[in-house]
Structures are given as structure tokens and as C-alpha cells.
């Protein structure tokens, strides 16, 4: 086995080893058990007192959603105004300008919804103030929103009929103080020691060996890069994201960043097992998601490490794999692994340029975002998976001869309506968005957003909407996306693609929690078995992946067959 592969496997194993105890810790936090960070209780109490919030008040699912949506709206307004006026505010040593309204709209939304689709470049598009007070702030709160929403669903999955599903603000604040802040601080420290800047000074000037001078952007970046991964946000300080040498200086930081971005999604799966005392179910979910991840990873690894046949034909050595758009310090394997992780999880940070990936890898990256349920984003990954479980339970419940029930509650028309709508939403947003942009481009190619027409251009447009709908934030960067069309359309896709998939599962779980609990019998379908796992996997692949088959054929698959079979 080569070293690069060992590096990837080691990274994955270390992640699991950390994620299991971390999952236990998360459960303790939300069950209110003793943890080492209990010294923060006075801080939390002070925050609640200042905000006038009674953090012990139980909320039903509707109250949770109202709380969640209203604070999100506030953040959006705040972020929009800040970005629009940043040029004239303080902490702007490089003198960067304010954003245009459509770009502010897109950026504000994109960070509120944990997507971090960046239609700007950090070095010139933002100031230190907005990087910290808008971008990094939103990276914390949007991740905490996802975690809190998931804990609401966990509470609803317990074995009792109930209205009260905990207090949203309590769960939200604890997600930040007990989980996101401490862990992202550790990551930031590791990054700082490896060379990531943490300074308020403006651009630095360096003299190269050739004797030229280069202006190098910097700033208080390390802290933000920590939460960017831990919160599955993905928006980088610098335009080149984690391919940038200051954002991701070496193989060690690369490992740390890879571990950081999957850590919470993985830990939350195990947390489900500990929280509900359904460990077997958590392992099955983990298994299905891991199989999903590996089924995308293997083709990507093979494609990236075997190199580009077009370049081989030119007589260039490709023993290091396809290195176009990749960083030499990471290599093809680690870049392949990253590109799969960052797309199945809604991080969207990159350490190589996906636009330059092999067509197979491009397909896998797209599929990762299209399914959006293998590990998935902070909290929301399991929420997406929950929807597929509901559909799988419905069909397989019938197959064992009972009207379907999930964790002791009957699934009826109302829940199916919501689940179907949410499952439908993703293909709807992606395909309709891509259809509109294809139509506009076909009608008038002078709109000029495609540098590569043909299959690859199509993939770029498809990727952009997929990334938006999945709240991923990565891009096939060849697309000229900073214009009103892309800023506005992806902005709306972002909002819908974020909040409906949170509202749906919370609503279903809330409605189910109010229903009478039916104890299990020998005739009940068990949802913690391998068979049910396979069923869920099949539902995800057939509903989420197959709907995109024609689109994938016209994009990366056409590219693949043209590249290899001609």
C-alpha cells in the first residue's frame, strides 16, 4: 500500500476514534449531565439573562421552528447591511470596497444557511471586520442552528408521547459554548503553530528568489479556518480556500482540517445512539453512510491516481496521478478524499480545484451533494437522512405486512406528504435552476458566464446549483458566477434548500412525537437492522441519485466517455 493511501485511511480511522467519545460528550451536553466545561454555566446564564430568555421553557416543534427562523432572519439582515457597508467601516487595512447589493444578498444568505458559496475572493472582497463579525460569526451560529434542530428531532424520537421537545435557545447556545467554540479553538491553535496567520496587519510584502515583490494577504485567519471546518461551513479566508498555503500549510494541517470537517457529522450519528439508547441504530446509520461515502470515494481515488489519459498521450509522466489543479504537498489521494468528504458533508471547502478533477470524480462530487445524506452537514445531514428513513420505513413497513411505523409511531398521510415534498425539493431546485441557466445560455451565449462551453460548462452550472441546494458551497470554479443572475438565483436556492429540509424533519418528528407510542412486537419492522440499512441506501440512491442521471449523462459522464472511449 502506498503512503498516500495509508494517509487517507489513517485520517478516516483517527476521525472515528475521536468521534465516538465526542458523540458521548455531545449527549452529556444536551442531557444536562456533568461535563468538564460546566464552568461555563454562569456565562450561559448571563447571556440568557441579558437576552431575557427563559432557557428552561419547553417548546413544541412549531415554537422551535419559529425561534430558529426568527434568529436566522435577524442574522441575514445584519450580515447584509454589514457587507453592503464594509468599505467604510473599520478594520479594513487593505482598503477593500463594499459589496454590490446582489453579492451582499448572496453572501449574507450563503453564510446564514451554512453553505458558504463564495462569489467573491476573501483577500479583496471582505474586510477583517466582516471576515470576523459576519463570516466567522455566521459560521458559528449556522452550525449551531443545525445541531440544535437535530437535537429537537432527537428529543422527538424518544419513547414517549410528548409536546415539549426542549428549549431551542438552550440547545443553540450550548452548541456554541460547549461544542463549537472549544473545539474550533483547538484547531485554530494547531493551524497557528503550522503557519496560518493570525494577525490584524494588512498585506505583507515578500521578495521572491527571482527578485520580484509579491503582496501577500493575511489577517486573523486561523480562528475562522477552525470553525469553517468544524461547522461544515467551508467558506475560506482566502479565495483559494484550503488549497492556499496559508490556509492549509502542510499535510498535518490537511489531516486536521479533514478530521475537523467530518468530526461533528460523525459524532452526531453516534450521539443519536447514546442519546436515544439505540446504539445499534446509530451503527447501522453509520454503516450506510460510510458505504455511501466509500462508494463515491473509490471511483474518485481510482480516477485521480491513474491520471488523465489526455495528458498521458502527450507523453507526460502521470505516476503521481492527475495533478492538474492539485497541491503537490497533498497529492492526488488526499485531494480525492477531501473532494469526496467536502461534498458529501456540506462543507464545500476545497484543497484542490474541483473544476480540474477527472470527470468520474466530478460525477462523484456531484452525487455526494445530490444525495446530501451520507454524513451530511452539521446536524442537517442526519435530518436529510431522516427523511429518507421515513420513506424507507413506509415502503418496507408495508413489505412486512403492517401499516408503517417508525420508532413506535404510525406514519400516515401527513408525514408522507412532508417527507415526499422534502425529498422532491432537492431535484426540483437543482434541475430547474440548471434548466433555466442552460436555457439562458443557449438563447444568448454572450451572457458570458461559461469559459468552457460543452459538457464541462454544463457540469459547472449543474455543480453550482447542486452546491447551493445542498448548502455545500464548493464550486466548479470555472463558472463566472459573480453577476446578478447567479447571485440572485442561487441565493433563493440557498434559502429554500436550507430551511425546508430543516422544517420538514422537525415537523415530521414533532407530529410523530405527539402520536401514541406503540411498543415493538415480533411483527414490527426493526429500523436498526442491516436489511433496513440496505433499504434506506437503495431509497437514497434511487430517489436522490437516479433523478439526476440524465443531467449527469449530459455533463461529467459525457465528458468521461468522450475522454476514455475516443
Contact call for residue 302 and another protein (CB under 8 A): no
User: Considering only 175-183, 210-218, 307-315, 540-548, which stretch makes contact with another protein by CB under 8 A?
Assistant: 540-548
Contact call for residue 455 and another protein (CB under 8 A): yes
| DSSP code for 197 | -
Q: Is 43 exposed, middle or buried (0-12, 13-18, 19+ CB in 10 A)?
A: exposed
42 vs 523 by CB, closer to another protein: 523
Closest approach of another protein to the CB of residue 445, in Å: 10
Report which secondary-structure segment, H or E, holds 72.
helix 61-85
The C-alpha cell at 137 is 460569526
Contact call for residue 496 and another protein (CB under 8 A): no
Q: Which of 195, 435, 451, 484 binds another protein (CB under 8 A)?
A: 435
Q: Is 185 exposed, middle or buried (0-12, 13-18, 19+ CB in 10 A)?
A: middle
Closest approach of another protein to the CB of residue 227, in Å: 36
Contact call for residue 313 and another protein (CB under 8 A): no
Contact call for residue 309 and another protein (CB under 8 A): no
Contact call for residue 81 and another protein (CB under 8 A): no
Q: Which of 307, 348, 408, 510 binds another protein (CB under 8 A)?
A: 408
Q: Which of 263, 303, 469, 543 binds another protein (CB under 8 A)?
A: 543
Contact call for residue 447 and another protein (CB under 8 A): no
201 vs 546 by CB, closer to another protein: 546
**In the Cβ-directed half-sphere of 492, how many Cα atoms lie within 13 Å?**
11
User: Considering only 53-61, 67-75, 207-215, 533-541, which stretch makes contact with another protein by CB under 8 A?
Assistant: 533-541
Q: Which of 40, 291, 311, 432 binds another protein (CB under 8 A)?
A: 432
Contact call for residue 507 and another protein (CB under 8 A): no
* CA distance linking residue 11 with residue 15, whole number of Å: 6
Closest approach of another protein to the CB of residue 515, in Å: 9
Residue 242 contacts residue 224 (beta carbons within 8 Å)? no
Closest approach of another protein to the CB of residue 274, in Å: 23
Q: Which of 92, 114, 261, 396 binds another protein (CB under 8 A)?
A: 396
Phi and psi dihedrals of 216, rounded to 5?
-115, 120
Q: Which of 14, 91, 416, 511 binds another protein (CB under 8 A)?
A: 416
Contact call for residue 441 and another protein (CB under 8 A): yes
The C-alpha cell at 416 is 408522507
Contact call for residue 186 and another protein (CB under 8 A): no
* CA distance linking residue 234 with residue 471, whole number of Å: 10
Contact call for residue 411 and another protein (CB under 8 A): yes
Question: Which residue, among 296, 288, 552, has the nearest Cα to 427 in the 3D structure?
Answer: 552
CB burial of 315-332 (b: ≥16 within 10 Å; e: otherwise) equals eeebeebbbeebbeebbb
Contact call for residue 9 and another protein (CB under 8 A): no
Contact call for residue 503 and another protein (CB under 8 A): no
SS3 content of the chain, % helix, strand, coil (to 5): 65, 5, 30
Question: Which residue, among 221, 205, 253, 493, has the nearest Cα to 351 in the 3D structure?
Answer: 253
Q: At CA 209, angle to CA 205 and CA 214, rounded to 5?
A: 25
Q: Which of 532, 536, 540, 556 binds another protein (CB under 8 A)?
A: 532
35 vs 420 by CB, closer to another protein: 420
Residue 548 contacts residue 427 (beta carbons within 8 Å)? yes
| DSSP code for 52 | T
Cα 521 to chain center, whole Å? Answer: 38
Contact call for residue 88 and another protein (CB under 8 A): no
Closest approach of another protein to the CB of residue 487, in Å: 21
**In the Cβ-directed half-sphere of 282, how many Cα atoms lie within 13 Å?**
21
Taking CB under 8 A as the criterion, which residues in 97-136 touch another protein?
A: none
List residues binding another protein (CB under 8 A).
391, 394-404, 408, 411-413, 415-417, 420-421, 423-424, 427-428, 431-432, 434-436, 438-439, 441-442, 455, 458, 516-519, 521-526, 529, 531-532, 534-535, 538, 542-543, 546-547, 549-551, 553-554, 557-558, 561-562, 564-566
Amino acid at each position: 500500500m502506498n503512503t498516500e493511501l495509508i494517509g487517507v485511511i489513517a485520517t478516516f480511522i483517527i476521525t472515528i476514534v475521536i468521534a465516538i467519545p465526542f458523540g458521548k460528550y455531545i449527549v452529556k451536553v444536551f442531557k444536562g449531565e456533568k461535563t468538564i466545561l460546566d464552568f461555563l454555566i454562569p456565562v450561559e446564564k448571563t447571556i440568557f439573562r441579558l437576552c431575557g430568555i427563559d432557557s428552561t421553557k419547553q417548546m413544541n416543534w412549531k415554537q422551535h421552528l419559529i425561534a430558529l427562523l426568527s434568529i436566522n432572519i435577524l442574522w441575514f439582515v445584519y450580515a447584509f447591511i454589514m457587507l453592503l457597508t464594509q468599505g467604510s467601516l473599520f478594520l479594513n487595512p487593505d482598503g477593500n470596497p463594499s459589496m454590490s447589493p446582489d453579492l451582499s444578498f448572496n453572501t449574507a444568505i450563503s453564510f446564514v444557511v451554512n453553505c458558504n458559496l463564495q462569489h467573491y475572493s476573501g483577500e479583496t472582497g471582505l474586510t477583517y471586520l466582516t471576515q470576523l463579525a459576519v463570516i466567522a460569526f455566521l459560521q458559528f451560529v449556522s452550525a449551531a442552528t443545525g445541531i440544535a434542530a437535530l437535537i429537537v428531532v432527537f428529543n422527538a424520537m424518544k419513547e414517549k408521547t410528548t409536546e415539549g421537545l426542549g428549549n431551542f435557545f438552550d440547545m443553540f447556545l450550548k452548541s456554541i459554548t460547549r461544542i463549537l467554540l472549544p473545539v474550533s479553538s483547538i484547531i485554530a491553535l494547531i493551524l497557528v503553530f503550522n503557519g496560518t496567520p493570525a494577525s490584524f496587519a494588512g498585506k505583507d510584502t515578500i521578495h521572491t528568489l527571482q527578485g520580484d515583490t509579491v503582496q501577500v494577504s493575511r489577517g486573523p485567519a486561523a480562528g475562522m479556518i477552525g470553525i469553517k471546518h468544524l461547522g461544515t461551513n467551508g467558506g475560506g479566508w482566502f479565495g483559494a480556500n484550503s488549497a492556499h498555503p496559508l490556509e492549509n500549510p502542510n499535510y498535518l494541517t490537511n489531516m486536521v482540517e479533514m478530521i475537523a470537517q467530518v468530526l461533528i457529522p460523525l459524532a452526531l450519528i453516534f450521539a443519536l445512539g447514546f442519546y436515544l439508547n439505540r446504539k445499534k441504530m446509530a451503527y447501522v446509520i453509520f454503516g450506510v453512510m460510510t458505504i455511501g461515502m466509500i462508494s463515491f470515494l473509490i471511483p474518485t481515488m481510482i480516477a485521480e491516481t491513474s491520471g488523465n489519459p489526455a495528458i498521458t498521450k502527450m507523453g507526460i509522466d502521470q505516476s503521481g496521478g492527475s495533478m492538474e489543479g492539485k497541491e503537490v504537498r497533498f497529492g492526488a489521494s488526499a485531494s480525492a478524499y477531501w473532494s469526496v468528504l467536502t461534498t458529501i458533508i456540506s462543507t464545500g471547502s476545497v484543497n484542490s480545484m474541483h473544476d480540474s478533477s477527472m470527470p468520474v470524480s466530478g460525477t462523484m462530487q456531484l452525487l455526494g451533494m445530490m444525495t446530501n445524506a451520507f454524513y451530511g452537514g452539521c446536524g442537517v445531514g442526519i435530518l436529510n437522512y431522516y427523511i429518507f428513513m421515513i420513506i424507507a420505513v413506509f415502503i418496507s413497513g408495508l413489505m412486512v405486512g403492517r401499516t408503517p411505523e417508525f420508532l413506535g409511531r404510525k406514519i400516515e398521510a401527513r408525514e408522507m406528504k412532508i417527507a415526499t415534498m422534502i425529498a422532491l425539493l432537492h431535484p426540483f431546485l437543482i434541475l430547474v435552476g440548471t434548466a433555466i441557466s442552460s436555457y439562458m445560455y443557449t438563447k444568448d451565449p454572450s451572457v458570458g458566464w461559461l469559459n468552457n462551453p460543452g459538457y464541462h460548462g454544463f457540469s459547472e452550472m449543474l455543480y453550482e446549483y447542486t452546491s447551493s441546494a445542498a448548502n455545500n458551497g464548493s464550486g466548479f470554479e470555472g463558472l463566472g458566477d459573480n453577476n446578478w443572475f447567479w447571485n440572485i438565483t442561487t441565493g433563493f436556492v440557498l434559502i429554500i434548500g436550507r430551511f425546508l429540509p430543516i422544517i420538514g424533519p422537525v415537523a415530521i418528528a414533532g407530529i410523530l412525537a405527539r402520536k401514541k407510542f406503540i411498543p415493538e412486537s415480533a411483527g414490527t419492522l426493526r429500523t436498526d437492522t442491516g436489511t433496513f440499512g440496505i433499504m434506506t441506501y437503495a431509497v437514497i440512491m434511487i430517489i436522490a441519485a437516479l433523478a439526476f442521471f440524465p443531467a449527469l449523462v449530459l455533463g461529467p459522464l459525457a465528458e468521461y466517455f468522450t475522454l476514455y472511449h475516443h
